[in-house]
Amino acid sequence: PPAAVRGMKVLDRSAFEQEVTLPALLVPVQSLRNCRKMMKSKLVNLSINKKVVDPPAHLVGEELTAGHKLFLLKPGTTMETYSSDEKQMLGKLGVKDKIYDYRITLGYENYKHWDVLRAILPDSEMAARGFSQVGHILHVNLRDHQLPYKHIIGQQSQVLLDKIQTARTVVNKHQNIDNKFRNFEMEVIAGENNFVTRIIEHGRKFEFDFSKVFWNSRLSTEHQRITNFVSESDVVFDVFAGVGPFAIPIAKKGCVVYANDLNPESYRWLLHNVALNKTKAKCFNSDGREFIQTELRNYLLTRSPHKVHVLMNLPAIAVEFLDVFRGLLCNGDCLKLLSIPEVCVHLYIFAPEKDGIADLKSRIKQSLGCALPEDAVIYNVRNVAPKKQMYCVSFVLTWSTLKSRHTNIKESIVNEHCQGDAALKDQML
């Protein structure tokens, strides 16, 4: 784009018009197909209607206008760009060993969204390239230094709305997710003021108000991974279920599902999505700790033979809930306790990029009261920010953890360290 658009505060589409010269090759009509395959990587990458055009007589001569086409190439392309083998092949196809200068007028519509933003914003205010799409909503994250330009960025976002047929709204969030319901304030910077959206993920339909619940499209693969991991005969307790991205596909698989979320809006849309997908799940609107202490505990004491999975997808604080498993069944009948099903926890947790495994193991041990089992599976889900990773830690709860509520965390760690040395234990305690 023209240098004159740099620093523009109010979008002026006409300012993007300029005449440029593109290199071009003259190709016989009968060789178009073969030449297109050969020169695909060298064709101009601007959004122009035609990259193969009729040659003007003033450029190539009257005698060559018929039976030939001009291939428009990337700026800077010369005959030296081609290897000797490519030149030989072009010669066999009847292509002249000459680059023509083709004049063309480019405008606003010829540039991609991010190219326009890069051209407008000062060098130090470079726009973020990324955005995520949730149904008809495009979600961008503007940094503090970009906020003065949010209106021009909003105007530029109209380009995305034009090009992505399913998009009707562009939003920017005000702050990080830091409330107990995991949703964030947002503002519309382009398009409709409508946050109720609908998405389809791996064939399952979800509807919700994006401004009042949590949804992350980047976890689509993780939702499917866990769904594939559980067996049809398993029973699943989703402690922080949200609007159902784990619960619903797992229920559709045939599993018995108990799904809970503290956010009343998430609970409302969870019920809605269960019905929308014509499946069954037992849904609850309570605190995660209470959900485990009542629903999970009561189910375990039924001595069902089915394996149990506990999903804890609240990576910022889920680790703090692990202490609820200590002594969860301490008041249960001993005969019943001997026949409780296997309980596998899938804990989501953030950890630093450096020494992240050691960090999460330490925090799990502190909350659970014992070290993570050696056969635990630590899966790196995704990078969420510079130097910050999201993990899923899967492990089976031990009988001693479920039975021993009154085991003090410090005492359990001391016992592990002393390994039967009573004198050392007394000294440390």
Residue-wise pLDDT for 180-198, tens only, equals 666 667 888 888 999 999 9
Binding site, annotated residues for S-adenosyl-L-methionine: 223, 261-262, 287-288, 313
Return phi, psi of residue 314, to 5°: -145, 70
Binding site, annotated residues: 223, 261-262, 287-288, 313
Rg of the Cα trace of the chain? 30
Residue-wise pLDDT for 377-390, tens only, equals 999 999 988 899 99
pLDDT of 421 strictly over 90? no
Please count the other Cβ atoms lying within 10 Å of the Cβ belonging to residue 163: 11
- Evaluate if pTM is beyond 0.75: no
pLDDT of 159 strictly over 70? no
Residue-wise pLDDT for 210-250, tens only, equals 999 999 989 999 999 999 999 999 999 999 999 999 999 99
According to the model, what pLDDT value does residue 341 have? 87
Domains, the chain: 20-106 (no CATH), 113-194 (3.30.300.110), 213-418 (3.40.50.150)
pLDDT of 58 strictly over 60? yes
Band the pLDDT of 209: cuts 50, 70, 90: very high
Please tell me the distance from the alpha carbon of residue 269 to that of residue 212, in angstroms, as a whole number.
Answer: 10
Please tell me the distance from the alpha carbon of residue 241 to that of residue 261, in angstroms, as a whole number.
Answer: 5
265-269, 395-399, 407-411: range with lowest mean pLDDT: 407-411
Burial of 42 (0-12, 13-18, 19+ CB in 10 A): middle
| Exposure on the CB side of residue 401, measured as CA atoms within 13 A | 22
Band the pLDDT of 176: cuts 50, 70, 90: low
